[in-house]
Amino acid sequence: MDKEISGYHKSYLERRALYKSFGYDIDKERRFILKQAMPLRGRILEAGTGKGHFALTLAKAGYSFVTFDISPDEQRFAKLIIAHAGLKKQVDFRIENAERTSFASGSFDAIFLVNVLHHLSNPYLVIDELIRILSPKGKLILADFSEEGLRVMDKIHSLKGDTHEAGEISLAQAEEYLLRKGFSTKRSQTMHQYVLVSRRKIPGR
């Protein structure tokens, strides 16, 4: 098991170095996302674990949280990366479909969806589900690549002979949808990353 963890960590470091060679610093971008979401209180959820980059950022910052993905293979990679960092007690890994989760309504006070939106075939269904499981005073943090970030992803994927998914909607369209749903929003960005922090509007304000 230790050998397997070390092997996955080596793959993680190689992936991080590859991104950085194209000007995209995974750690720096994830820290930026987390900073925009501050302060964080209550129960935290990450929707879409992926390779575990943001999960590792959350765990290193001292948070305990739930994270889910639809892919067992992705979850396995993320679990081993978290284990290598000695932080597995902080992370509750789940297998879930983001369009219809098993969580009760209002379960989480902060929900992150990081660089997942452009992968979704039914993005509005996912946003509706995240709204359902968000507590009344909770915050929803959506982050996705900027145009420059997407160009970097295209270059990286082309090295492997494949293409990067362009996505059904942009973060700007997601923001418009949340505004119609009665949320207030705050936007921020880096060269490679857009971040949208949304809360339900308080009546009378």
- CA 183, CA 202: separation in Å to the nearest integer? 9
Q: What is the largest CA-CA distance in the chain?
A: 58
At the topology level of CATH, where does 2-200 sit? Answer: Rossmann fold (3.40.50)
**For 75-108, what is each residue's pLDDT tens digit?**
999 999 999 999 999 999 999 999 999 999 999 9
| pLDDT tier at 164, thresholds 50, 70, 90 | low
Q: Which residue has the higher pLDDT, 107 or 19?
A: 107
Of the listed ranges 29-38, 156-165, 189-198, the least confidently predicted one is: 156-165
| Residue ranges per structural domain of the chain | 2-200
How confident is the prediction for the chain on average, in pLDDT?
A: 91
pLDDT digits (tens, 9 = 90+) for 23-72: 999 999 999 999 999 999 999 999 999 989 999 999 999 999 999 999 99
How far, rounded to the nearest angstrom, does the alpha carbon of residue 60 sit from its chain's CA centroid?
15
Average pLDDT of span 130-159: 93
* Whole-number Cα distances in Å, 55 to 7, 31, 62, 181: 19, 11, 11, 28
Under the banding of pLDDT at 50, 70 and 90, the label for residue 2 is low
Q: Is the pTM of this model over 0.75?
A: yes
- In single-letter form, the type of residue at position 192 comes to H
End-to-end CA distance of the chain: 54
pLDDT at residue 5 in the model: 66
Q: Is 161 exposed, middle or buried (0-12, 13-18, 19+ CB in 10 A)?
A: exposed
Of residues 110 and 205, more confidence is placed in 110
- The total number of residues shown for the chain amounts to 205
For residue 122, give both structure tokens: 């039914």
Q: What is the CA radius of gyration of the chain?
A: 17
Reference 68, options 91, 50, 48; nearest CA is: 48
Q: Which of 124, 119, 57, 137 is nearest to 91 (CA)?
A: 57
H-state helical runs in the chain:
2-21, 26-37, 53-60, 72-84, 123-133, 147-159, 171-180
